[in-house]
Amino acid sequence: MADYYEVLGVDRNASEDEIKKAYRKMSRKYHPDIAGPEFEDKFKEVNNAYEVLGNAEKRRMYDSGVDPNNPNSGGFGGGFDMGDMGDVFSSFFGGAFGGSQGPVPRTQPGRDALASMSVDLKTAVFGGTEQVRVNTFVLCPQCSGTGSADGSRPTTCPDCQGQGMRQKVVRTMLGQMMTTAPCERCEGHGNIISNPCSSCMGHGRVRTTRNIGVNVPAGIRDDSRIRLASQGEVGECGGAAGDLYVDIHIKPDKQFTRDGDDLHCWVRVPMIWAVLGHDVDIDTFDGTRTLQVPAGCQPEDTVTLKGLGAGRLRDDGARGDLVVHVAVEIPTKLSDDERGLMEQLEQSYEESHGGDKKPVAQSSRPTREKKGFFSKLKDALS
């Protein structure tokens, strides 16, 4: 019996949320559209594991020693109910126990597909249309999805007479029994394509790589997932296409970082600008804007530019703010003239405060009060 916990990489005591998270990670890792067609069997194995462990009743049966995906894997004891018995009898006696099986339609719905793409921060701020490249099944252009080279309709299978299933006698420990299995000639469809399309071999679809436009909404967050209806795999013989899910990753930006709907950046200004105040031109995603550095600006102070942040999802037109962190450049080397001016400034500062030097603030933990500009300047030059 397969170890489904090992397949998903979770502990046997894993919670439902942990199993879901592990399944999402593994399905993304081994999806044939991302990992390649050679991982299709591994992808099916992951889906089979989640089909059992993601269902509370099936997981209970599995933990008791019965694999719900394989009724013959366990005994008639732990967890083997009448539903399982019905499946077994149905496989031997066909419709005798209410499990009538008919031919499998050739037209089948397509599977969902998964892709990922990276967008820059500016696209995440304003939104836009990006192209994602996916490898998936599309309608066969040669036969238009019919699977037939000459457009003829399928004919009834002569081996199963359109039933899709064939019966045969097998010897068992209980004696001779009748078993039912899909017809090998028509593969259970009940009909055959006399002249299959040479491009799709009668399946009505071919695998190809194509570009799909993705509308990225303004304000989208990193690791978000967008659903594109009917952009997944086209089903066999013209079956409806599944959906395409696109995982969005936002690339780091050299000038801005994001926190929720706000953008943050850091600018360095000369010490004298922080003392006297100064207007500074900075780059934003909306073009050049003027930043007013207030007089007496302290290191680590921030200046907020309203409405220049990221768009807010589900709130058309609304945007966050751009928060500018001011870093004050304090010179570490001064000329004699510059040092003389600084000493005069220090003397003037002390005289304006009565000539008394304030005691050094000492504490076992960081003080809430910010260190004054002149204190920082003195520390840097000492």
pLDDT digits (tens, 9 = 90+) for 81-126: 444 444 444 444 444 444 446 789 999 999 999 999 999 999 999 9
CA distances from 113 to 232, 233, 247 (A): 5, 6, 11
Which pLDDT band, with edges at 50, 70 and 90, does 76 fall under? Answer: very low
pTM above 0.85, yes or no: no
- Report whether CATH 2.60.260.20 matches the domain 257-381: yes
Is there a contact between 109 and 229 (Cβ–Cβ < 8 Å)? no
Which pLDDT band, with edges at 50, 70 and 90, does 72 fall under? Answer: low
Residue 301: other Cβ atoms inside 10 A:
16
pLDDT confidence of residue 59: 86
Share of the chain above pLDDT 90, in %: 50
Which pLDDT band, with edges at 50, 70 and 90, does 46 fall under? Answer: confident
- Report whether CATH 3.40.50.720 matches the domain 111-140+203-251: no
Distance CA 8, CA 14 (A): 11
Domain spans in the chain, listed from the N-terminal domain onward: 1-80, 111-140+203-251, 257-381
Please tell me whether 265 is known to bind a ligand: no
Do the domains spanning 1-80 and 257-381 agree at the CATH topology level? no
pLDDT confidence of residue 214: 97
Distance CA 244, CA 224 (A): 14
Which pLDDT band, with edges at 50, 70 and 90, does 236 fall under? Answer: very high
Distance CA 280, CA 329 (A): 14
Is there a contact between 232 and 212 (Cβ–Cβ < 8 Å)? no
Architecture of domain 1-80: Orthogonal Bundle (1.10)
Handedness of CA 313, 314, 315, 317 (dihedral sign): positive
Please tell me whether 297 is known to bind a ligand: no
Is there a contact between 115 and 247 (Cβ–Cβ < 8 Å)? yes
- Of the listed ranges 55-64, 197-206, 373-382, the least confidently predicted one is 373-382
CA distances from 184 to 157, 189, 204, 351 (A): 10, 10, 20, 103
Please tell me whether 237 is known to bind a ligand: no
Residue 161 has pLDDT above 50, yes or no: yes
* Residue from 81, 79, 87, 86 nearest 62 by CA: 79
